[in-house]
Amino acid sequence: MQGFAPIVLPTATTVVAAHQVTNGPPIAAIARIRLYSAEEWEAFTNEWAHYFFQGKTVVRFTGAGDKGVDIAVFDPGQDFTGVWDGYQCKHYDDPLRPSDIYVELGKVLWFSFSGEYSTPRSHTFIAPCGIGTKLNSLLMNPDKLRQELIANWDKHCRTEITNAQEIPLQGAFLDYVNAFDFAIFKGKQPLALIDEHRASPYHATRFGGGLPARPVTSSPPAAIAADETKYVEQLYLAYGDHLKKPVASIADLGKPALREHFSRQREAFYQAEALRVFVRDKVEPGTFERLQDEIYAGVVDTKDGDHPDGYKRVVAVTKAAQEMSITANPIAPIAQTQDRHGICHQLANDDKLKWTR
């Protein structure tokens, strides 16, 4: 029939993987933040501010009476009487328009004029759907932004800045507004915010994509370092138990196989330490420690079992660690065999695993 055509389903060109059926197609970060509730948006911006501005004092204001500031970032040793930057985190379903921020501009002007705080070095608006075209144009033209605010003052600001009084735009306050540097008002688009959020260890949890490639781990130094003392002493005891004689240094090991084993254990410890440092700012706090706990839970029964000597116990426990199936921890996909062996020695360093009785 003219005007109609049969439905033709697309021909598959790729093999569908299990994770695609389970999770569906990935959602881009820019689309994901637009789905956030107000609470999720607040949590996201808290993470961004806390980690992106490390080294500065970051304060979050919530509820009514925020005086135009959601997040204040202070230079070291500064407060509201000194150098600071303000951020307004708006949660709307559409890009921000000028009418969305007029009252916020009015608050900054009024409260800085009244001496509630010093004029911020910058005041930036952020929103999940970004800054709309008209508002972005105004923010890029400070004089035009001032004119538009003055024209809209009575409609958006006069009775909205504070419940205590009306704020007419007249007299000394009008002079202040006319002299104010409107170039401090800026907008940050969500893509820039997402990129800066990468400094947060929560980024991979929020947006997926896995962890970045690991750098190559350096070889251990020839001399035993101070942070190796405990696990090395435990290994010496294990070797002594095996050789039936005291072992106080590498020279006492005698057998090349034991020397090579000791060298591998040090390499594994340094590999695990490198992993711990690598993921420290890339996953949520406590993630690596949970991996240690999971490995401990998986090997402790092997450790407590019967073994001919301490050395054989070390071999059995590290073998059990490498054979464990660990799927829940986000670090697991990049944790190699050496990492698992090294975590056993981290646990020995913490007196959680002992090789001799």
pLDDT average, residue stretch 139-167: 96
CB atoms within 10 A of CB 340: 26
For the stretch 228-246, pLDDT in tens is 999 999 999 999 999 999 9
pLDDT at 27: 83
pLDDT at 213: 84
What average pLDDT does the chain have?
Answer: 92
* Residue 19 scores a pLDDT above 70: no
Q: Where are the domains of the chain?
A: 29-207, 226-349
pLDDT at 64: 67
Residue 254 pLDDT greater than 70, yes or no: yes
99-121 mean pLDDT:
96
Kindly tell me the burial class for residue 348, based on how many C-beta atoms sit within 10 Å of its own C-beta (0-12, 13-18, 19 or more).
buried
354 has a pLDDT exceeding 50: yes
pLDDT of 22 above 80: no
- pLDDT per residue over 159-206, tens digit each? 999 988 999 999 999 999 999 999 999 999 999 999 999 888 889 889
* 18-32, 139-153, 229-243: range with lowest mean pLDDT: 18-32
pLDDT of residue 13: 66
pLDDT(333) > 60: yes
Nearest to 42 by CA among 62, 72, 65: 62
Model pLDDT for residues 266-276, shown as the tens digit of each residue = 999 999 999 99
Edge-to-edge strands of the sheet including 71-74?
57-60, 71-74, 84-89, 122-126, 185-188
Say how many C-beta atoms besides its own lie within 10 A of residue 109's C-beta: 24
Tokens of residue 141, six digits: 């033209």
CA distance 57 to 164: 30
Q: Give the whole-number percent of the chain exceeding pLDDT 90.
A: 75
- Residue 1: predicted pLDDT: 47
The Cα-based distances of 113 to 98, 165, 169, 176, 321 in angstroms read 22, 15, 12, 7, 64
Nearest by Cα to 139 from 94, 89, 96, 168: 96
Torsion of CA 164, 139, 149, 190, to 10 degrees: -50
* Residue spans of alpha helices (H) in the chain: 18-23, 29-33, 38-52, 98-113, 133-139, 142-151, 153-156, 171-179, 190-197, 203-207, 229-243, 256-279, 287-304, 310-323, 337-349
Q: How many angstroms separate the CA atoms of 70 and 44, rounded?
A: 13
- Residue 11, pLDDT > 80, answer no
44-53, 295-304, 343-352: which has the minimum mean pLDDT? 44-53
Neighbour-count burial for 130-163, b at 16+ CB within 10 Å, e otherwise: bbbeebbebbeeeeebbebbeebbeebbbeebee
Q: Which of 119-128, 188-197, 210-219, 256-265 has the lowest mean pLDDT?
A: 210-219
d(CA 76, CA 318): 47
Task: Please report, for residues 67, 94, 110, 149, 152, the alpha-carbon distance to residue 177 in angstroms, rounded to integers and kept in the order given.
Answer: 17, 29, 9, 10, 13
Query: 14: pLDDT confidence band, cut at 50, 70 and 90?
Result: low
Q: What is the DSSP string of 216-282?
A: PPPPPPSSPPGGGHHHHHHHHHHHHHHHTS---SGGG--SHHHHHHHHHHHHHHHHHHHHHHHHTTT
| pLDDT at residue number 120 | 96
Interval 280-308: pLDDT, tens: 888 888 999 999 999 999 999 999 999 99
Amino acid 281: pLDDT: 81
Please give the CATH number for the structural domain made up of 29-207. Answer: 3.40.91
- Tell how far CA 297 is from the center of its chain: 27
- The mean pLDDT value for 34-42 works out to 91
For 92, the 3-state DSSP assignment is coil
